[in-house]
Amino acid sequence: MCGIFAQVTQTDDFSHRHPEELSQRLREANATRGPDARKSCCISLSRVFLELFSSELRLRGNSPVIQPHQNDSGAILSWNGEVRADENDGIKLFQQLQSLETGEQVRDLFASIEGPYAFVFYNATAQKLFFSRDPLGRRSLLIHKPSVKNPYFLLASVTAGSDPGYDFEELKTGHIHCLDIASLNKSNDIVSAFNGSLSLFARSDPTLLGSPNFVYAEPAKINSTLPPDDLPVQLPAHNLDVIPAWLEEPVERLISQLDHSVMLQVRDIPQDLSLKGQSRVAVLFSGGIDSTVLTLLADRHLVPRDEPIDLLNVAFENPRKIKLQKEGNINPNKKKSKHKTFESRNGSNDVDSDTSILSDYMVPDRVTGLQEVEELRRLCPERVWNFVEINVPYHESLIARSRVEGLMNPVRTVMDLSLALALYFASRGVGQVRSNPTDEPVPYTSPARVLINGLGSDELLGGYGRHRSAYKTGGWAAVIEELQLEIDRIPVRNLGRDDRVISSHGKETRHPFLSLDAVSFLADLPVQHKMDPRLPLGVGDKMLLRLAARKLGLVEASGRKKRAMQFGSHSARMEGDERGDKLLEG
């Protein structure tokens, strides 16, 4: 994981047109993403000044590498990525990029490699600046285009918060972008010359798709074949105990695909000798089916087997929830159900966002997390499982709010804030652990720099309520359309924001469900192999994953119902019932 900041500005009257103080704040904001090293490389032409800045979090290779990478000819690469390479992936990629001068060549190179990435590459010979994110947008990269008010070009992994000095937006993932620096250098006005100097090279060039050398040009499209009209209900007994014969192969393939994806993401993580024997991997852990399946698979591949895995479980002190517990539910349209509190503690999976919890931090995700860590301990007794209780007092969430809003920027909705707060505190990893459930807690801060995230399973396997609603209104065709929309919008809806928030702690999040190989496998499956909205919740949604979890021995996890992170952790609606799509003030 790295932080990237790049700027292109005209040298005329530079001090007035682009304050150095703003550049320094952007460098510092991006430096928190890579605490191991930082460096800037600068190029001055007759009328244009170019800077590429990178910070480094070393999680690959056998020795520290300080970037940006630079060679004698003046080529520069700022790289924030994780592609398949036995050595430092940035070095290997830089060697390949140095001979490329056209957008088509750069596009073709990236169409052949898989992994989350964002990069900025300057070819000094051609005087061209190439930049992009991976096709799913698993790494953040923001763009500010020159304007009359702010006449300079900026790229950054994260902003320094809201500021009148820039107008950042998420960089779209469908193209390799190329800025002709030579053309800008001939112009007296960067604002008027910018659009004519920027070229876009579409990843989805029809001449490339289908070729074995370009399998990673873009995410796979959802299989649009409709199920037969007389399709029987997939699980006639409405339970997960027996896998129907026609689903046995898809279940085995899903387990194999996820197992391979997790293996690639947890193996060969460098061990800090000063932290030998401590956790290198942590899981954003709610006790739900997604995080639990990935945790079980991580246990297979992380050696030695007695090295701890940290399970990061976050809970918020929510004054609105506490008030409801004391005064009762004043909204007559919602059912108050204190009895569910006791059901959840006795193993029930039916815990919703309005459950009344006696303890401020015994939120739904804490209840299911505690249940699931016991299931993991039964299945994997050799592993040390650190269940990290991350309790966030209300006043602490208020203090962090401005910081988190700055990291989220440019997204600014109530729902984004609820999710970002949960991710911010969970990934920070500051909490407490207990050797046994009845022991007193001991303060603990997770040293793990790699965080496993279950994002993507709901989008790919039909886990959201909107997929069930789509079936009710438009049948299987509407479900297929909604699943395609999930893939199309995930770069903007989730991944950039999550990357900016989590990486602020010098941590790297990895998404086994969102490797392009896993996406391709799941997209290609007929829709009825993945889900069946005719079945009850906890069975038909993400049906294929539930069957896989049961086959792996995760009996309790396999039947858990979907619960959004912000409701499971109580990070949502701390003061009132604001709509999630409402824009934040300020």
Look up tokens 């702010």; give the residue.
Answer: 150
**In the chain, what percentage of residues exceed pLDDT 70?**
90
Query: Of 510, 363, 365, nearest to 448 (Cα)?
Result: 510
Q: What's the DSSP call for residue 140? A: -
The residues, ordered by sequence, that sit 6+ positions from 266 with a Cβ below 8 Å of its Cβ are: 281, 298, 301, 302, 450, 452
Backbone angles phi, psi at 272, to 5 degrees: -70, 120
pLDDT for residue 264 is more than 80? yes
Architecture of domain 245-318+361-568: 3-Layer(aba) Sandwich (3.40)
Distance (Å, whole) CA 397 – CA 362: 17
Contact 323, 360 (CB under 8 A): no
Domain 2-214 bears CATH identifier 3.50.50.60: no
Annotate 333-364 with DSSP letters as a single string.
TS---THHHHHHHTT-----TT---SSTT--H
pLDDT for residue 163 is more than 80? yes
For 457-583, strand residue ranges (E) read: 508-510
Q: Quote the pLDDT of residue 340.
A: 38
Contact 68, 51 (CB under 8 A): no
CB atoms within 10 A of CB 304: 8
Which tens digits make up the pLDDT trace of 432-471?
A: 999 888 899 999 999 999 999 999 999 999 999 999 999 9
Q: Report the C-alpha dihedral over residues 58, 62, 64, 69, rounded to 10 degrees.
A: -90
Q: Which two tokens stand for residue 221?
A: 């499209």
Q: Quote the pLDDT of residue 578.
A: 77
Q: Quote the pLDDT of residue 207.
A: 67
Q: Which two tokens stand for residue 458?
A: 């709901």
Q: List the domain boundaries for the chain.
A: 2-214, 245-318+361-568
Q: Quote the pLDDT of residue 320.
A: 86
Q: Quote the pLDDT of residue 356.
A: 38
Q: Quote the pLDDT of residue 456.
A: 97
Find the mean pLDDT for residues 19-23. 90
Q: Quote the pLDDT of residue 48.
A: 95
- The mean-pLDDT minimum among 313-322, 330-339, 362-371, 427-436 falls in 330-339
**In the chain, what percentage of residues exceed pLDDT 90?**
75
Distance (Å, whole) CA 403 – CA 530: 39
pLDDT for residue 364 is more than 80? yes
Q: Quote the pLDDT of residue 568.
A: 94
Which tens digits make up the pLDDT trace of 80-109?
A: 998 765 556 888 899 999 999 999 999 999
Per annotation, catalytic residue among 2, 41, 178, 380: 2
- 337 band by pLDDT with thresholds 50, 70 and 90: very low
Find the mean pLDDT for residues 478-493. 95
Whole-model pTM? 0.92
Give SS3 for 84: coil
Find the mean pLDDT for residues 216-245. 92
Q: What's the DSSP call for residue 509? A: E
Look up tokens 């007929």; give the residue.
Answer: 526
Q: Quote the pLDDT of residue 345.
A: 33
Contact 510, 453 (CB under 8 A): yes
pLDDT for residue 430 is more than 60? yes
Query: Of 32, 76, 122, 8, nearest to 499 (Cα)?
Result: 32
pLDDT for residue 186 is more than 50? yes
Look up tokens 């290609």; give the residue.
Answer: 524
- The mean-pLDDT minimum among 61-75, 164-178, 249-263, 462-476 falls in 61-75
pLDDT for residue 352 is more than 70? no
Q: How many residues does the chain have?
A: 586
Positive or negative, the CA dihedral 299, 304, 305, 310 is: negative
Distance (Å, whole) CA 576 – CA 585: 15
Distance (Å, whole) CA 551 – CA 240: 9
Positive or negative, the CA dihedral 483, 484, 485, 490 is: positive
CA dist list (Å): 44 to 77, 131, 185, 412: 16, 19, 10, 36
- The mean-pLDDT minimum among 286-300, 317-331, 376-390 falls in 317-331
Whether 2 sits among the annotated catalytic residues: the reply is yes
Q: Is 389 left (phi over 0), alpha (psi -120 to 50) or beta?
A: beta
Give SS3 for 133: strand
- 62 band by pLDDT with thresholds 50, 70 and 90: low
pLDDT for residue 226 is more than 60? yes
Of 162 and 83, the one with more pLDDT? 162
